[in-house]
Amino acid sequence: MRPALIRHAALPVTRWKNDAGRRAEIATGKDWVVGFAWLDEDAPFSDYPNAARTIMLLEGPGFVLTIEGHPTVRVERVHEIARFPGDLPTQCTILGGPCVVLNAVTSGLARHHVAVMDVTEAAAVTPERDEIVFLVALTPGVTFVSGGATLEPAPRDAIELSGPAEARGPAGAKIAKIRIAPT
Whether the pLDDT of residue 43 is over 90: the answer is yes
Residue 102 lies in a domain: yes
16 and 80 part of one domain? yes
| Domain limits for position 98 | 8-107
Q: 0.85 cut: is pTM over it? A: yes
Which whole number is the average pLDDT over 95-106?
Answer: 97
pLDDT of residue 147: 86
**Weakest-pLDDT range from 100-109, 112-121, 153-162:** 112-121
Q: What is the pLDDT of residues 33-42, one digit of tens each?
A: 999 999 999 9
Q: What is the pLDDT of residues 124-183, one digit of tens each?
A: 788 998 999 999 999 999 999 988 889 999 999 999 998 899 999 998 999 999 999 998
pLDDT of residue 10: 97
Residue 1 lies in a domain: no
Percent of the chain with pLDDT over 70: 98
Residue 47 lies in a domain: yes
The residue that leads in pLDDT, 104 or 147, is: 104
101 and 116 part of one domain? no
Whether the pLDDT of residue 123 is over 70: the answer is no
99 and 128 part of one domain? no
pLDDT of residue 183: 86
Query: Average pLDDT over the chain, rounded to whole?
Result: 94
Which whole number is the average pLDDT over 19-24?
Answer: 96
Residue 154 lies in a domain: yes
Residue 3 lies in a domain: no
Closest C-alpha among 41, 179, 163, 14 to residue 106: 179
Any idea what the CATH number is for the domain that residue 127 is in?
2.60.120.10
End-of-domain residue from the set 79, 107, 135: 107
